[in-house]
Amino acid sequence: MGTSSQQRTGGIRTGARPTAPLRPSRRLITTVAVVVLLIAGIALANRGGASSGTPEAAVDPMSVEIPHSSEGAQSAAAKMAAVLGSEKMFDPIRRGDIIQRIVVPEQRLAVQKAVDADYTTAFNAKLGLDENGKPPAGATFVSRSMPAGVTVRHYDSREATIDVWCAGLLGLTGKGAPKELPVTTSWFTQTLTVRWTDEGWRLAEFTQQDGPEPGAGEYGQAPQL
């Protein structure tokens, strides 16, 4: 979600940031492309949060069949990263539904406890939301995680660990939005371990850390595109 430097976790595994090289020309292209994504995300939110795709896909990010391959695992991880950073996570009922849909059965309870410990009523209040994740009248709540690149840490036919580098939007917009809670941007990396099950790729563990930001630090910190 990229809201602070605090690491949010649905598992135990953590690790160092990826070290794949990123050439200057690619970095510039990435920055421009994600700025376009951020502008599009704000515009989308101001239209009331409408989304493309089928209604089924909007409810279940894993509803479209994803292949049993490295590319499939990367696609699944990116979809999971996006939904884990969405507005739905601030609503206890919708959050529970997401966990049931994307997490491996044996880890659902542990992941549910971990995310519930993060998404508290007090945390919602800091963002101007009620206990069910609803914004004030006349305002639209924006929470977007937009994958910009992935790095495969490990892959085999049973399990994969993948870094998903994301641009994030978080805040309130619209005529009724408090000026002190504007939509802000952030960069963060989710590390997701996905496991192949009878239902396809499902989430086993995840952690999140801030950064890296485009153009900041030494080359070699950002995930590959």
Amino acid identity for residue 97 in this structure? D
Please tell me the predicted confidence (pLDDT) of residue 151. Answer: 95
Helix (H) / strand (E) element for 186: namely: strand 184-197
Res. 189: pLDDT tops 50: yes
Q: In the chain, what percentage of residues exceed pLDDT 70?
A: 67
Task: Retrieve residue 44's tokens.
Answer: 């989308």
Cβ distance 73 to 151 under 8 Å?
no
Please tell me the predicted confidence (pLDDT) of residue 214. Answer: 86
User: Which distant-in-sequence residues (6+ apart) come within 8 Å of 156 by Cβ?
Assistant: none
Q: By C-alpha distance, which of 107, 76, 95 is closest to 194?
A: 76
Q: Please state the domain extents for the chain.
A: 20-47+68-210
Convert the pLDDT of each residue in 2-56 to its tens digit.
444 334 444 433 232 222 222 223 333 333 444 444 444 444 444 444 343 443 4
Convert the pLDDT of each residue in 84-112 to its tens digit.
999 999 999 999 999 999 999 999 999 99
Please tell me the predicted confidence (pLDDT) of residue 43. Answer: 45
How many angstroms separate the CA atoms of 72 and 53, rounded? Answer: 19
Convert the pLDDT of each residue in 206-218 to its tens digit.
899 999 988 755 4
User: Which distant-in-sequence residues (6+ apart) come within 8 Å of 96 by Cβ?
Assistant: 112
Res. 82: pLDDT tops 90: yes
139-155: average pLDDT: 95
- Candidate CATH numbers 1.20.1740, 3.10.450, 2.60.120, 2.60.40; the one for domain 20-47+68-210: 3.10.450
Please tell me the predicted confidence (pLDDT) of residue 148. Answer: 93
Whole-prediction pTM value? 0.72
pLDDT grade, residue 132 (50/70/90)?
very high
| Structure-model confidence comparison of residues 154 and 65, the more confident one | 154
The DSSP secondary structure of 54-112, one letter per residue, reads -HHHHH-TT-S---SSHHHHHHHHHHHHHHHTSGGGGSHHHHHHHHHHHB-GGGHHHHH
Phi-psi region at 89: left, alpha or beta (left = phi > 0; alpha = psi -120 to 50): alpha
Q: What pairs with residue 206 in β-bridges? A: 192
Cβ distance 77 to 162 under 8 Å?
yes
Q: In the chain, what percentage of residues exceed pLDDT 90?
A: 60
